[in-house]
Every structure is written in C-alpha cells, then in structure tokens.
Structure 1
Amino acid sequence: MNWLVTWLMLATVLMLLAWGMLRRERIYQFPFLVGVITFAFILPQIPGLADDRFLPKGGYAKTIAFTIVCLAMCWLGWSSNARPFSFFRWDFREKRLLMASFFFSVTGAFFYYKLSRLPGDMTVGVQMSGAPVAYLFFARFMNYGMAIAVLCFARRYSWTAAFIIGVDLIFYFDRIVVTGKRAEAVELVMMFALAFWFYRGWVVPRTIMLGGVLAGTLLMNSMSDYRTITRANSSPAWQDIAQINVAANFDDLLKSGGPEMRNAIWRIHHTEETFDFDYGKFHWNRLIFNYVPAQLVGSKIKESLMMEMPAAARDYDPLTGTTETGMADAFQSFWYFGALKFLLLAYVMSRLWASAKSGEMSAQLVYIFSIVPAIHAISHQTDWVLTVWVHMLIFLLPTLAWCRNRAPDIHPYYSRMAHSLAFGASR
C-alpha cells in the first residue's frame, strides 16, 4: 500500500508539471509551481519513509493519500477562465509610484542593514525573536519598493527605476547569500519574470525552467549545511561551502527520508487518533503571533488573545528548523476536509492571476508577493500567504491609494485607452 500511494503521488506531481508545460505562460501559474515545490521539496523525502518501521502503522499511506488530495485541490481550484477582481481597477501616476518605491526601498534597506549587523547565530537557520523579528518585519518594505520599480521598468525603461533596482539588489543578494534564504531567491526571480511577462510577453524557456527545477531539487537539500557554515562565520566561507557533498546529501535523503514529511506523518496520525481539531484557530493564532508585538502589549496580553490549540503528542519532538508541511495543519484544522484550504487558495490565486494579466498593476504586485508563500502552503504552512496579505493590507494598500490617478470621469472609450496607457495593457 505504501509504495502504491508513493507512485500515485509521483504521477500526480508529474501531471501538474506536464500541465504547466503545455502552454508557456502556465509556468508562472499556481498549479505548476505547486508541482515544482512538491517535486523539489516533498518527493525526495518520501521514498526513505515508505518502509520505515518506526512510523505509526498506516500513517505513511494516510499522509501521502491526503497530500495527493491536496495537490488535486490545487489543480481543481484553479480556473483558466477566472474573472478578475473588480477592486484592483486602479490607475496610477508613475511619478508617485517611483517616489513610493524609493521610500519603501530606503526604509527596508535600513532595516535589512540592521539585520545584517546581527550575529549569524541570531538570524541564520534559527527561530528568530525580539529585535531580529522587528527588523525583518519592516525590512519587507524593500521588497515592495523593488517590485514597484521592476514593474515600472518593465513597462517603460527608466533610469530612476533602474537605480532603485540596482541598490535594492545589493541588499537582496546579501540576504540570499548570507542567510541562504530560498524563498527570497525564488521571489526575486519571479519578480523579474512576472514583470516582463505582464508588460513585454517575455517567458523563460520551458527547458531552462525544467533544468532549474532539477538543479534546485539537488541543491535544496544541502541548504542546511550551507546555513550551518554561514551561521558559524556570520558570512559565507566559500572554502567550506565548496566541500559540501550535494550528491551524497541527496542520496542520503532518498534513503533515510526527510524530516518535514516525517513530522507531517506524526501530526496527521495523532490528529486522526485524538479527533481533536482546531477548526481554523491556527490561522488566528499565527496572525496574533506575527502582528501583535509582545514588547508593546506584554506577553500576557498577547497570549490571552490566542485561542487554545489541540495538545501535541507527547512523543512528538520535531527537529528545530524543520517544518510540518501545510498538509499537517490543514488536517489538524478540518480532518480530510482540510484539503478544501488548497481548493480555496487555488481559486483566489486564479482570480489574482486573471486580474494581473488584465493589466491591473495593483493585482500584479499582489500576485508577485502571493505566489511564493502560496506554494509554501504545501511545504511549510497554509498561513504564510494570509500573513503576507495582511502585511500588504496594512502597509502597501495605503501607499497605492496615495499613488492613484484620480482623474475626472471621461468618455468610456478614452477611459479604457487611458487605463491601457496609464498602467498595463492587457496581454
């Protein structure tokens, strides 16, 4: 039974990848990218677990079967004919957008600089708390500045946008290289790829995309070694990094199994045994954790705002730095019906894509910042994208409102023409 569901899982992932290869723009869409992260991060972890005698009986087959259902929901919830969201229909003044980009970039760069001055053992491969969390929270502003500048530059070459991009890239590369952040690296690539797709119709060749997926699959599983080195030295020690045996690490993962899927198996098994669900309280608690600062309101008040969660199994002790996968928290919330989280996420992402493709610059920004945390709903937790949306709602939305072009109403024909010229002709 274990190997049957393993092969079914492989077939499901390959179908998602094949679906993305059929049309060139699909490589930027949610179902294909879910297939990519599952292929690179989840699949290599499961062969070594299929015959693991120390896992709970039936736990492996149950978890893999539920994962297949979640992947299917990511495809079923996506609609190629989705309607754009009407509330993204805003026109913008390019001058104000560049001013906002500059402000976001300067503010975010300052906090990235503050973060980079901290010792590596406080920021690399650890659960951050205190000042590093605050610095990272506001450093996110630089991502907004970068994305706005890239979209402006893709639409119309501008020295101002190019300057902002150049400066921001320095901080981006520092963050990626020093801390080995895979999510930031993927977000940076997607930022440029999507911007030039939306405005110039450029698409990364599918052969290069697949080559990147294979290379990423091999390298991803050596990131813990990379981070261990950078944490010890507070910077990359290239001689030590060159000694990392990528092939041996990958082979060991295939044979021994991965910790993330092991965590998921235990979490799902325990939930099935106790039938104790959180019914979505997990998401509320994560929002409180991320947006209520204990330094200001106090730990007691912050804890009082959180809802009581089901108790973890006594024999469950995940390794520090590992995740439990989004399948585990979805199952913990609503049993097998938790797969509907992925159906809803895919539906929202399809409408975001439709809005972005129609030329709405605000939707393009939201899609750029949503796609990476959305696919991490598979590998990490389903709350990541919600956390990002709340951050954008608090900080990005007011800024975009200031950048709006509030021209008086004119004839609909010229209004449509103005919309096309102002920001984003439909592709």
Structure 2
Amino acid sequence: MADIIHIFCILISSIILIYVLYRVFIDKSLHLYSFMFIFIFASSVFILPQYVTIYKKLDNSLLTPLIVYITLCLVFTIIGCNLKLSFGLSRWERPLEKIFHEDYLTIYSVIFLITATLGFVKLLGSESALGTQWSGKDVIYNFLYTTYRYALIFSCVGFFKTKKRHFLHLLILSSFFFLDRIFIGGRRTDLVYYVIAIGVPYLYYTNAKIRLIILIPSMIVAFQLLTIMVALRTVTLDGSGFGSIASGVSLPQFKEIVAANEKLKAKEDRADELTACCYSMDAVNRLSAYNYGAIYWNSVVQDFIPASIVGEGVKKSLMLPTKNYKLEGYTIYKGSTTTGFFDTYSAFGYFGCLFFMFMAIVMTRIYIRAISNNTFYMIFYLCVIVDTLHAVTHRSTLFITGILTFLIWMIIVHFIIRFILFMSKSS
C-alpha cells in the first residue's frame, strides 16, 4: 500500500513539473521569470535528487508522511498560483506604493551601498562574526550589510528600464559584494540572488527570449556550480561564519575545492535536509509537539527585537512557548536544515500545506503587478522571491521576515529621501 501511495505522489509531482514546463516552453502562456516557474522548478531541483536517496534508505513509516506532505504542498502551491483571491491585500497596495519614490532609484541604490559598506566594515571588525554563534551586534551589522542585495536590485531595475549608464556603475559596485560572498563565502543564496536580480529585469525590460537549447545546459552548469560552492565554503570558512577577501581570506586553489567536493560526495547519500525533515516530522507527530504557528511570531521577535537593546529577558518574554521534541535514531548534521516543509508541518500538521498556497497567492499577485510595468512591485518581487525558495530549502518563516525586512527598509529610505528633498528645498 505504501508503495502505491509513493508512486501516486511522485506521479502527481511529476505532472506538476511537466505542466509548468509545458506552459513556459510549449504553450508560452507563462514567463520564464514567473513565480510559478521559478518556485516549482527550483523546488523540484532541490527535492528530486534527495527523493532518490531517502527512498532507498528510510522506512515507509518515515517516508510516506513526507512524500504525501510535499506533494500536498506542491499541489496547493499550484492552486494558489491560479486563485484570484487577494486576502484583503489590495487595501495595502496604495499605501505601499506611496512610500516608494520611483524617480529616485539612484538614491535608493546609493543609500543601500552605504549601509552595506557600513555593515561590512563592522562585521570585519567583529571577532564573534567569524564563528557560528553571532552576537546581537553582529545581527544588526548583518541587517545593514545584506542591503547590498537591494542595491543590486535597484541598480538592475534602473539600468534595464532606463538604460542610464550611472545605474550600470552602481550595478558593478554592488556586484563586488556578491563576488566576495560567492567566491569567498561560497554562499549559494547570493548566487541565486545575483542570477535573479540581473536575469529577471533583463528578460522583462528587454523582452529577450532564451532558447531551450541554451537554457538547459545553463541550468546544468548552475546546478553543478551550486554543488561546488558548498565545497568552496568548506575550504575557505570551514563551512560557516563570516569571511571576506578583505579580512585576509584568499581564493582557494581549484584542487582544494575538488578535494573538498570529493569528501562531500562520499556523504551525499545522507540526503541531509529531507532525512532531517522525515525524522523531525515523526518526532513532532509522535509527541504531538505542534506549535500552532508560534514559530512565525517567534521568528519575527528573533529577527527584529534586538536583545542588546531591550534585554534578553524582555525578548524571551515576548516569545510564545513551544513544545520540545527529540529525534529518535537520527542526529541532524552541522549545517543541515530541516526544510520549510517541516516547520509548516510542525505548526499545523498536514494543514501546513495551506501556507504554501497563501505564499503562492501573495507572490503571484506581486508578480502580476510587477509585469504590469509597476516598478515598485518589480523591485518587491525581486527582493522577496529568494525568500520563497528559502521557504522550501531552509525555513518558511524566512518568507514572512523577508517581506517585513523589505518593508522596513522601504519606510526607512522613504523618510531619508523626504529629508534629502526637504533640505534641498530649504537651501
């Protein structure tokens, strides 16, 4: 019976992937840069290779709930992409657009380059940032530092939309942060950000067409590069922490990366993420340790309430209680995640798949506004779409905190621009 369920679920997942590929490359009713394509394709690339491994190794009592749940998540994602519900989001669209100043994309890019540089310098001078456990100040510095991603996105949209050369200069400047993070830090997230931040505006504003004969080899190369970057990070930073060429970390030799990659390949049959997800789902189900959504509130408190300002006691008091659970028969490896499938399941059980429908509805609405020549929503889309991919590979809470981070920075820069305009008028 379990085998029939597995085959049925894998068949449904395959049909979903084929359906999306058909709409993009055959029917051409869906853009290559649409949320549906990016999310389903990226999720499939993440899930399918690990499926092969865990299918051979795990007991059906662990495997069946995971396969059923992931299939439900993909099904409800497709449903969400095709639903026309707004969840009352339309009432927020006008206020959101009012805090955006389309004529000042250059100022946005410059401000984000300045804040990123400030955060970068502070992290370079922080000894605790080199380890796995960051201090409260490091978290604040990182909040500033990661705005280099916004700098690139604003620069790319400005350049491909207006073709003005100064945006190209800002694009190049922000690219230095990415190159450092990719080739020294081995950060796959930044590679994905970089490709999306440049690729989507290029395809949309130039109306360029990419042939399938070019796309398929490019995706194969990109997948191999993502795999190698884990090995690169193992060599340069011992797998974790903050590092930069400015802090004395040098580019590793190619043979060092190859050797590290061979060691990782020997461990590939672990399928870390989905295996950890299986055992974690089993533990939560066995102990009824569901948190009923508390993790989403707690993640907001964790990311946006600095203990260095309010105090550790106050911060902990703001968090909702969650039940503890212990895995049986498995230890989660260092650097591995339990995936966003697990934390949605730990919150709501099988109803957690509705989170993916909600996310798809929100992102599809943002995407539709973005391709209606709305600059704000194009930038919004680019700034949060990687967080939706993290909702699969890492934690679903990152989708919520990603949107909040974007909105917080938009409000901050809104008042900075208003102040600049006020001072220029006064003078």
Q: Which TM-score applies when normalising by structure 1? A: 0.83
CA displacement 1:22-81 (0-9 Å, x = unmatched): 4275321222222322232222112222132xx455111110111011011111110387
Residues 25 and 203, structure 1, Cα contact 8 Å, conserved in 2: no
Aligned counterpart, 2:206: 200
Say if 2:114 is the partner of 1:100.
no
**Which residue, out of 65, 71, 74, partners 1:71?**
74
Residues 92 and 403, structure 1, Cα contact 8 Å, conserved in 2: no
Q: Which amino acid aligns with 1:96?
A: Y
Structure 1 pair 93/48, CA: closer, same or farther in 2 (3 Å)?
closer
Residues 34 and 375, structure 1, Cα contact 8 Å, conserved in 2: yes
Aligned counterpart, 2:371: 357
Aligned counterpart, 1:412: none
SS at match of 1:165: helix
Distance 1:137 1:10 in 2: 38
**Which residue, out of 53, 61, 64, partners 2:64?**
61
CA shift at 1:303, angstroms? 1.2
**Which residue, out of 361, 364, 381, partners 1:347?**
361
Residues 74 and 342, structure 1, Cα contact 8 Å, conserved in 2: yes
Residues 156 and 171, structure 2, Cα contact 8 Å, conserved in 1: yes
Residues 323 and 379, structure 1, Cα contact 8 Å, conserved in 2: yes
CA shift at 1:118, angstroms? 5.8
SS at match of 1:46: helix
**Which residue, out of 19, 30, 40, partners 1:35?**
40
Structure 1 pair 96/373, CA: closer, same or farther in 2 (3 Å)?
same
CA shift at 1:4, angstroms? 2.4
Aligned counterpart, 1:422: none
Residues 13 and 38, structure 1, Cα contact 8 Å, conserved in 2: no
Residues 221 and 249, structure 1, Cα contact 8 Å, conserved in 2: no
Residues 149 and 165, structure 1, Cα contact 8 Å, conserved in 2: yes
Q: Percent identity at matched positions? A: 22
Residues 279 and 333, structure 1, Cα contact 8 Å, conserved in 2: yes
Q: Which amino acid aligns with 2:178?
A: Y
Say if 2:65 is the partner of 1:50.
no
SS at match of 1:179: coil
**Structure 2 segments unaligned to the other structure (5+ residues):** 239-247, 419-427
Aligned counterpart, 1:417: none
Distance 2:30 2:208 in 1: 9
Say if 2:168 is the partner of 1:184.
no
**Structure 1 segments unaligned to the other structure (5+ residues):** 405-427
Residues 340 and 391, structure 2, Cα contact 8 Å, conserved in 1: yes
Aligned counterpart, 2:241: none
Alignment RMSD: 2.9
Distance 1:196 1:299 in 2: 45
CA shift at 1:189, angstroms? 1.4
Structure 1 pair 39/58, CA: closer, same or farther in 2 (3 Å)?
same
Q: Which amino acid aligns with 1:76?
A: I
**Which residue, out of 12, 25, 42, partners 1:21?**
25
Aligned counterpart, 2:384: 370
Distance 1:250 1:203 in 2: 36
Structure 1 pair 132/176, CA: closer, same or farther in 2 (3 Å)?
farther
Structure 1 pair 111/284, CA: closer, same or farther in 2 (3 Å)?
same
CA displacement 1:85-135 (0-9 Å, x = unmatched): 54255597665321232122122123224435667x9458x4544443222
Structure with the larger RCO, 1 or 2 (CA within 8 Å, 6+ apart): 1
Distance 1:199 1:13 in 2: 27
Distance 2:202 2:415 in 1: 24
Distance 1:46 1:248 in 2: 21
Distance 2:415 2:374 in 1: 14
Q: Which TM-score applies when normalising by structure 2? A: 0.83
Say if 2:308 is the partner of 1:313.
no
Shifted more, 309-318 versus 283-292: the winner is 309-318
Structure 1 pair 79/6, CA: closer, same or farther in 2 (3 Å)?
closer
* Count of residue pairs brought into register by the alignment: 398
CA shift at 1:249, angstroms? 5.2
Structure 1 pair 196/44, CA: closer, same or farther in 2 (3 Å)?
same
Distance 2:201 2:317 in 1: 43
Aligned counterpart, 2:397: 383
SS at match of 2:67: helix
SS at match of 2:32: helix
Residues 34 and 71, structure 1, Cα contact 8 Å, conserved in 2: no
Distance 2:297 2:123 in 1: 27
Aligned counterpart, 2:338: 324
